[in-house]
Amino acid sequence: MGEEPVGVGILGLGTIGTGVAKVLGQNASVITQKLGFPLRLVRVADIDTETERGVDLRGVRFDSDAEGLIEDPGVSIVIELIGGYDVARRLTLRAIERGKHVVTANKALLALHGKEIFDAAAKRGVDVAFEASVGGGIPILRSMREGLAANRIQSLHGIMNGTTNYVLTEMERTGELLDVVVKRAQDLGFAEADPSFDIDGIDAAHKLTLLAAMAFGADLRFEDIPTEGIRGLTPLDFEAAEEFGYRIKLLGIAKLREEEGGERIEARVHPAMIPEASLLAKVDGAMNAIAVHGDAVGPTLFYGAGAGELPTASAVVADTMEIAREIRRGTAGRVAPLSYMPDALRSKPLVDLGELWARSYLVFTVLDRPGVLGHIASALGESGISIESVLQKGQSRSEGSVPIVVLTHPAQELAIQQAIAEIDRLPEVTAGTRLVRIEEDL
């Protein structure tokens, strides 16, 4: 246990950076026992050097000099926890250029600039590890890269954002409107002051970009993934979901389609109704869960805290330990970060949403007049869509608007969208139709 330590530097001492410093300090002895040598936090850089973080940094150089940290010969592994795009990209590439290995929790950075960063790391012979970028403390990426490496992954479904899962759970429990629950989530620290990345599905789409690359060897662009958030959902949707035997979750979904002309990837983020008996339906609060189906292993489920100071720090430090181990073995820089070797990654076409075949939940807002349901049923029938169930919630006075809830039999989404466009033009329809897809392949 007397070997020289591997030096570590942290860029960004926010919530996660503070957690990483705490874990490195508090668990130093167990880390040394597992590695056979110490990990030593050498430097920390952050633009704010005055705020008290509640972590012991005695013996650690703490200043605002990010470039100096990267240039420091005592730092072998740079942990990037700045967040965002531009500065994080510049400093990550600078660290790689200087021969430093990089650990990051920045899924947005990798979803947009991952190819550039991974290519630079491969040329320089250094590692980039990013377990904490998806699922917080859940070891989903390592499991896909190592534990499930022998499998051809067929599909994955994930609750990938704790904020939206908390909001949806609370809307279902309380019957409150989305804005009310989001405000409570902000007060409790589950949601950012601007929650758009979470509730609009962007954060989940960033994560799905990385997961799909690892699952299918697919070089996907984040901006090409169809993404919908949860803003349109109302208490009515949760009441209806319960009556139909479903729960509503924001899912990231990716499936492999093996076809005569080659492989295509079905990748999408949107709210979905899922059977209440399914395992994902039981994931509540701010927790995350990702179900992965492999051809050899069958269905697997990874569950845990998807965010937070210490769960995320746990994954960051685990990545740092693994790189340190590789440094000592002399094998650092040889692990394919996206599971597939870089020259095996392929650009694979995405399946258009219009090709999906599934049951749908539709809410029509209409004037309370005789014959309106008949007009809706006729428009659906003309598009080849049959109705499985109908609910009408409440009655209006003086021909006010009422919601009509329709559950369809399986149909192609293109037909559903065409029918919606036709129905929304009816004079009795007073608001745009709301669609929630039903996902039963879990």
Residues constituting the chain: 442
| 374: CB partners within 8 A, 6+ apart | none
**Can you tell me the distance from the alpha carbon of 295 to that of 338, in angstroms, rounded to the nearest whole number?**
19
As given in the structure block, the two tokens for residue 242 are: 């319960």
- The answer to whether the beta carbons of residues 295 and 154 sit under 8 Å apart is yes
Instruction: Give me the sheet containing 298-305, strands edge to edge.
Output: 298-305, 287-294, 153-159, 246-259, 262-275, 429-438, 360-367, 401-408, 387-392
**Can you tell me the distance from the alpha carbon of 72 to that of 78, in angstroms, rounded to the nearest whole number?**
10
Which of 240, 245, 241 lies closest to 394 in space, CA to CA?
240
Active site residues: 207
- The answer to whether the beta carbons of residues 163 and 288 sit under 8 Å apart is no
**Cα–Cα distances in Å, from 372 out to 34, 366, 368?**
69, 7, 8
Chain centre distance of CA 431: 31
| 129: CB partners within 8 A, 6+ apart | 101, 102, 103, 104, 319, 320, 322, 323, 337
Q: Which helix (H) or strand (E) holds 208?
A: helix 202-216
Beta bridge partners of 254: 156, 267
**Can you tell me the distance from the alpha carbon of 156 to that of 266, in angstroms, rounded to the nearest whole number?**
10
Q: Which helix (H) or strand (E) holds 305?
A: strand 298-305
Phi, psi (rounded to 5 degrees) for 154:
-100, -35
